[in-house]
A and B are shown apart, each in its own frame.
Chain A
Amino acid sequence: MLLTEIAEELAFAWRILPELMKGLVVTLELTGLSLVAGLVLAIPVSMLRTYTRGPLNWLATAYVEVFRGTPLLVQLFVVYYGLPEMGVVWSRFFSAWLALTLNSAAYQSEYIRGAILSVSEGQLLAARSLGMPPIQAFRWVVLPQALRLALPAWSNEVAYMVKYVSVVYMIAVQELFTRAQGIISRTFKVWTPLLEVAVVYLAVVYLVTRLMDSVERRFRIPGLEGGVERREMV
C-alpha cells in the first residue's frame, strides 16, 4: 500500500531528524566561525590591496588569487592531508574551519576592497584635514561606510557558506551533509535522507537570507545604500 509506505518514510524521516539536527549545529558553527574569522582576516587584506604598493600588496594579491583560483576541496585537502606531512597536525574540525576561513577571507576581502574603492576620496581627505592619522581615518570614516556598502555582497557570502560547508564531508567532519551520507550508507535508504537534508538547507538559507535582510535594513543610512540591491536584480 502506497499510504503505508509514505507513512513509514515520514516516520523514518522523523527518526533521523535529531541526527541531522546535530549535523546542522556543526554546519552552523563552521559557517559562523569561518565567516567571522574570514571577515577579520579580510579587512587587513583588503587594506593592503588598496593602500599599499610593493611586497605587501603582492603578498595580499597572491593570497586572494590563489584562494579564489583553486577549488575549495583542494585547499581543504592541503590543510588536512598536506600540512600534517610537514608536521602540522590539527583536528578535523579545526582543519575544516581553517580552510573555509582562508577561502572565505579571500572572497570577502574582494567585496570589501570594492566597497572601499567606492567610498569617495573626499571622505578620507576630510578626515585627514581634521587631524586624524591614516589608521584612525580608515577606522572611523572609510571602514564603517565600506562595510555597509559590502553588506549585500556579504549576505550572499553567508548563503553560499552554509552550503559550501558540506565540502568538509570529504574529511568526515560530522556536519549536516556528512550525517545524511552516514544515514544513507547505514540504512540503504537514499531518497528520504537526501530530500530531507535538501529541505533543511533550503529552510536555513531562507532564514539566513531573511536575517541578513533585516540586518541590512537595520544598518541602512540615507545616501549610503549597498551597491546592488538583491531584490532589484530580477
Chain B
Amino acid sequence: MPQPILRIENIHKAYGKTQVLRGVSLDVYPGEVVVIIGPSGTGKSTLLRCVNQLTVPDQGRVWLEGVELTAKGTDINKARERIGMVFQDFNLFTHLTAVQNVMLALTKVKRMRPEEARAKAMAELEKVGLADKADLYPAELSGGQKQRAAIARSLAMDPEVMLFDEPTSALDPELIGEVLEVMRKLAEEGMTMLVVSHEMGFAREVADRIVFLENGVIVEEGPPEQLFQDPKQERTREFLWKLTELYGNHGGSRSRRRPGCS
C-alpha cells in the first residue's frame, strides 16, 4: 500500500454547543477520487475546511505528504498552495477578470513575473474551455463558466490535492454538466480529489471511494458499486434511496430539484 497523500485523523469541531464533527478519520491516496456524501448540516464542508485549515479543528490532526498541517510552526500558507479549493459559490474575485483571477496568486504568492503568470493563466483557462472569456469579469460569466474559472484558478497553483465543496450545488441544472466534465477530466489526469457532492452520476463513474458522513461521523465508506448496490448500514441505504428519489434514478443532472445545501 502506498503512503496516503492526505491523512485526516480524528477531527473534532464544534460551533458553540453544536458538535459538527465528532472524530472523523480519512486517508486519501495519490490519484484517488473520494466523494463525500451526507445530509445537510452533517459537517461535510467543515471537514473540507479543516483539511486546509480555513477552519481550525478543535482536535485531531491533518497531514499532507507526511507533513502535519495542524502542527504549530507549520507554514499553512505554503501548504495551502499545494491544496486547491473550489467553493460552492465560486468566490471568483469580483474586481478581476477571469485571467486576472487566475494570475493573482501566481504573481503575489508564487512571485511569477506578470508575462509568465499570464501565459500560465491562459493555459489553465484553455484547459477548462474559457480562453475566449479571459477578459470578462465574473459578473459577465455564467455560473458554469465562473466555476470553471475558479477551478482554473486553483489548478494554476499546481496543487497536489484538490478539494471541491459542492461545486455544482449553486448551478442551474443545464450548467452542471460542463463543470462535472472538467472534474472528470481532472480525475482522469490523476489528480487527487476530495469532493463533497450529491451528483450521484459523477460519484458512480468517477469516485474510487464514497464516504457517507452523518452527524459528524463516517457511517460507511467503500467503492461506489458496493455502497450503491449493497450498503451495510441501514442509514446509508435510506439516504441513498432519498437521493435517488430527489435526483432521479441514475443520479446525473436530469429533472433535478435543488436540495438544501449544507
Residues of B within 8 A of A127 (CB): 93, 104-105
Residues of A within 8 A of B67 (CB): none
Q: Is B87 located at the chain interface by the 8 A CB criterion?
A: yes
- Interface residues in A192-216 by Cβ distance below 8 A to B read none
Contacts A123-B91, A123-B93 given; does A132 touch B140 at CB 8 Å: no
Interface size, chain B (Cβ < 8 Å): 29
Residues of A within 8 A of B85 (CB): 126, 129
Q: Is A69 located at the chain interface by the 8 A CB criterion?
A: no
Contact of A222 among B52, B54, B81, B137 (CB under 8 A): B137
Asked if residues A148 and B89 are in contact (CB atoms below 8 Å), the reply is: no
- Residue of B with least CB distance to A225: B139
Contacts A222-B139, A224-B94 given; does A130 touch B87 at CB 8 Å: no
Asked if residues A132 and B105 are in contact (CB atoms below 8 Å), the reply is: yes
Tell which of B77, B139, B157 has the most Cβ of chain A within 10 Å.
Answer: B77
Asked if residues A148 and B95 are in contact (CB atoms below 8 Å), the reply is: yes
Asked if residues B91 and A128 are in contact (CB atoms below 8 Å), the reply is: no
Residues of B within 8 A of A126 (CB): 85, 87, 91-93, 150, 153
Q: Is A221 located at the chain interface by the 8 A CB criterion?
A: yes
Contacts A123-B91, A136-B108, A145-B95 given; does A130 touch B138 at CB 8 Å: no
- Interface residues in B101-149 by Cβ distance below 8 A to A read 104-105, 108-109, 137-140
Q: Is A87 located at the chain interface by the 8 A CB criterion?
A: no
Contacts A136-B108, A140-B104, A222-B137 given; does A129 touch B54 at CB 8 Å: yes
A145 to B109, CA, bound (A): 20
Asked if residues B139 and A130 are in contact (CB atoms below 8 Å), the reply is: no
Residues of B within 8 A of A133 (CB): 77
Contact of A129 among B52, B93, B104 (CB under 8 A): B52
Q: Is B80 located at the chain interface by the 8 A CB criterion?
A: yes
Residues of A within 8 A of B78 (CB): 131
Asked if residues A125 and B139 are in contact (CB atoms below 8 Å), the reply is: no
Asked if residues B93 and A131 are in contact (CB atoms below 8 Å), the reply is: no
Q: Taking the nearest CB of chain A, how far is it from the CB of B171, in angstroms?
A: 16
Asked if residues B93 and A223 are in contact (CB atoms below 8 Å), the reply is: no
Asked if residues A222 and B109 are in contact (CB atoms below 8 Å), the reply is: no
Q: Taking the nearest CB of chain B, how far is it from the CB of A93, in angstroms?
A: 37
- Residue of A with least CB distance to B93: A141
Q: Is B70 located at the chain interface by the 8 A CB criterion?
A: no
Q: List 18 A-B contacts (CB under 8 A).
A: A120-B91, A125-B54, A125-B87, A127-B93, A127-B104, A129-B83, A130-B81, A131-B80, A131-B109, A132-B77, A136-B109, A141-B93, A141-B104, A145-B93, A145-B95, A222-B140, A224-B95, A224-B139
A-side residues, CB < 8 A to B, are 120, 122-123, 125-133, 136, 140-141, 144-145, 148, 221-224
Q: A129-B52, A130-B109, A221-B95 are in contact. List 12 more A-B contacts (CB 8 A).
A: A126-B91, A126-B150, A129-B80, A130-B153, A131-B79, A131-B81, A141-B104, A145-B94, A221-B137, A221-B139, A222-B140, A223-B94
